[in-house]
Structure 1
Amino acid sequence: MPSTPLYSYDSQPSLYSRDFESSITPNTTQRNTLIVAGCYVLVIGILWHVPYLNLIIYPFKLLTVGFHEMSHAFMGVLTCAHIHSIELDPDEGGATRMSGGIPWLTLPAGYLGSSFIGAVLIACGFDTNASKIASLVLAGFFLFTLWWARRNLLTWVLILGMSGLIVLFWFVAGGVALRYLVLFIGVMSCLYVLWDVIDDTIARKVNTSDASAFADICGCCPSQVWGVIWLIIAFAFFAAGIIVGLVAFKESAAQQKQDAKHFLPVPGSSGAPPMAPLSAFLVVCASALALAFNV
């Protein structure tokens, strides 16, 4: 009688390894997206430290601060806190005033939440339709932020300006420009978190930083230790955003363009209904903003 092998799993590890390798290997469109993202990192790094030229990315810096404060507020809501206000100031600072909640969760939510948002936007920046969905979700976040910051004029100017930019880019090249805008905002958000954590907690200790407040509550480690931990998590989010984008969105540029014609198409295009979803969404946003102004 011929003998049968006791084990038949020798090929499985190599099979899984090949599947993972093929999943994260970028195609031509993804390779171009990675190149653009790398250029974003270089340009942001240069503009960040050059006087006067840093005004070019100043609105996006404020936007990432808004993500930071919005993350505090949303975690506060999830832990039953009462949100009193959100404020942004011209010095690229911000504050979220709340009562109640769980400080163990609300304090790290600023850095980690904004880095998570950046990672999600980076992943969505690999695909046109995903970028459209991300921009609509951002619009919803903007409305909540405006509700909490309705007495802060700078926040209104920033978010209304960014909303207008998103709408404008939605119309350019069938939404392709929107994809690169979403990618830029994601890269900017992740880089800002990494730099802010290093600057506030590791390079120099800022007594009013989230890490300092967290260290006071925890009592077991100095703020620099928590800064390093949060930095590692933020970097992991950054890398995860790229990996998810590579694995999830394998369509070529031509396929994305074709799919975008049928998914939330640009008003007036051949695939758009008389009242396109974007137009309807803008009407809803305008109504919500009018209600907020009357509060």
Structure 2
Amino acid sequence: MAPIIPSSHRATLGKLARRALLTAGPALAQSHLHNLSKRGLSVNHTQGVTLGVIGAYVVVIALLWNLPYVRWVLWPFKMLVIAFHEFGHAITACCTGGRVESISLDPHEGGVTHMRGGRQAITLPAGYLGSSLIGALLTFCGFNIVASKIASLVLAVCFLLTLWWARKDWLTIITILLAVGLLVACWFIKHAEALRFVVLFIGVMSSLYSVWDICDDLILRKVNSSDASVFAKRYGGSSQCWGIIWSLISLTFMIFGILAGLAAFKQSFQQQEDDSKDFIPTVRMLLKI
């Protein structure tokens, strides 16, 4: 038989309980949020390997970017991120009422987007900032195989648009087709595990391209025909100032991409491979089924 508690005692106990909850509630909530935050940004083994790969990519790209002769190893990827740069100009021109007439890449690592109309206050910085935003998104997706598959499908749409705008420029066409061939080939390597590291590499390089290219053109070489130079002439300030601002924004995008990847993708290599088997399996998997 349960003990009988007088009503006056029950009221007192109820008040004490409510007071205890009110006192402990904020502390419990803060502790719970702290645990979630700590768990969200904690780094497991798989993520540690990914961070190590990102660091290695940064060092390798920095060396190959500046060393004579061997810098040609990066040339196809430079052409690809320049295509991202021009895509940034083109897509913002379309979104601001402009019209894209053509896109072309130059073998000397340059590119140009011919367009009419649009808001140049948006389209001019959209080259560097657009390529760095794409780079950050690819870096984020590079933490996970399934996310990398999705990223490659989105890239395919961007490539199709770029091919349409660059249908008369053979260098752009060849660059895009080679990139598509690389991505497709990676789908068939260990359930697209290789795709993850290729997407990660393209993401890191696209993010850093904005920084290094701005430094090369505006801070070190002081080239006067850059997007930042045109922006400075139209809207004030100096090209070096705008270049530094855009570089800082690009680095911020990349950092957010890495932090988001750490928070979102906690799966181990094996878990990612298992998930990849069920998401658009390769031809070999379909044949086995």
1:155 aligns with 2:172: yes
Q: Distance in 2 between matches of 1:205 and 1:29?
A: 42
Instruction: Pick one of 64, 87, 91 that aligns with 2:104.
Output: 87
1:272 CA drift (Å):
7.4
Q: Distance in 1 between matches of 2:288 and 2:264?
A: 26
1:65-80 matches, within 5 Å, as 65-80=82-97
Residue 252 to residue 71, structure 1, CA distance change in 2 (3 Å):
same
* Aligned-partner residue type, residue 162 of structure 1: A
Q: TM-score, normalised by structure 1?
A: 0.88
Instruction: Pick one of 195, 202, 206 that aligns with 1:189.
Output: 206
Give CA deviations for 1:114-158 in whole Å, capped at 9, x if unaligned: 000000000100110110111111111111101101111100111
Equivalent in the alignment of 2:254: 238
Instruction: Pick one of 108, 115, 123 that aligns with 2:140.
Output: 123
Residue 262 to residue 222, structure 1, CA distance change in 2 (3 Å):
same
Report the secondary structure of 2:81's partner residue: helix
Q: Distance in 2 between matches of 1:183 and 1:151?
A: 30
Residue 187 to residue 271, structure 1, CA distance change in 2 (3 Å):
farther
Larger radius of gyration: 2
Report the secondary structure of 1:251's partner residue: coil
Q: Distance in 2 between matches of 1:271 and 1:45?
A: 42
Greater CA deviation, 36-45 or 82-91?
Answer: 36-45
Q: Distance in 1 between matches of 2:204 and 2:287?
A: 31
Residue 139 to residue 28, structure 1, CA distance change in 2 (3 Å):
same
Residue 272 to residue 249, structure 1, CA distance change in 2 (3 Å):
farther
> Percent identity of the aligned residues?
49
Q: Distance in 2 between matches of 1:261 and 1:102?
A: 44
Which runs of 5 or more structure 1 residues have no equivalent in the other structure?
274-295
Q: Number of matched residues?
A: 272
Greater CA deviation, 47-56 or 164-173?
Answer: 47-56
1:211-290 matches, within 5 Å, as 211-219=228-236, 221-270=237-286
1:204 CA drift (Å):
4.1
1:32 aligns with 2:53: no
1:48 CA drift (Å):
1.5
Instruction: Pick one of 131, 134, 137 that aligns with 2:154.
Output: 137
Report the secondary structure of 2:284's partner residue: coil
1:12 CA drift (Å):
3.3
Equivalent in the alignment of 1:17: 34
Give the CA RMSD over aligned residues: 1.7
1:270 CA drift (Å):
4.9
Residue 149 to residue 270, structure 1, CA distance change in 2 (3 Å):
closer
Q: Distance in 2 between matches of 1:193 and 1:180?
A: 20
Residue 20 to residue 272, structure 1, CA distance change in 2 (3 Å):
farther
Q: Distance in 2 between matches of 1:272 and 1:133?
A: 23
Q: Distance in 2 between matches of 1:76 and 1:209?
A: 18
Report the secondary structure of 2:102's partner residue: strand
* Aligned-partner residue type, residue 35 of structure 1: G
From the two aligned structures, give the one with the greater helix fraction.
2
Report the secondary structure of 2:245's partner residue: helix
Q: Distance in 1 between matches of 2:76 and 2:86?
A: 15
1:53 CA drift (Å):
1.5
Q: TM-score, normalised by structure 2?
A: 0.89
Give CA deviations for 1:6-27 in whole Å, capped at 9, x if unaligned: 6542343343233212111111
Greater CA deviation, 86-95 or 27-36?
Answer: 27-36
